[in-house]
Amino acid sequence: AWLGVQSFTGLERISRLHHFEVRVETAIAAPDLEAVALGCSATLHIRAAGRDRAVHGIVVAIEFAGVFTGQDVPRLVMRMVPW
């Protein structure tokens, strides 16, 4: 099974907890992914301005966000927060 990250938004501040909402496409149905991933650790790998970094957390929510037009690939939004 695979998850393709389409986009993400997040909030990070010094001395504050971060959170990220990651929009993904997957061949896994939302209820099945929720059963497997909810509460599990996750890592978002980000490459920007020639630098790589990883954001670690756990998946606390998964929501269905539609289907790509002309395809049967579901889009989901996963919310990640620190462990």
What pLDDT is attached to residue 65? 82
| Spatial CB neighbours of 24, under 8 Å, sequence gap ≥ 6 | 3, 4, 5, 6, 75, 76, 77, 78
What pLDDT is attached to residue 9? 93
d(CA 56, CA 67): 27
pTM: 0.80
pLDDT tens for the 83 residues of the chain, in order = 567 888 999 998 888 888 999 998 887 777 788 888 899 999 999 998 999 999 999 999 998 887 766 677 778 899 999 98
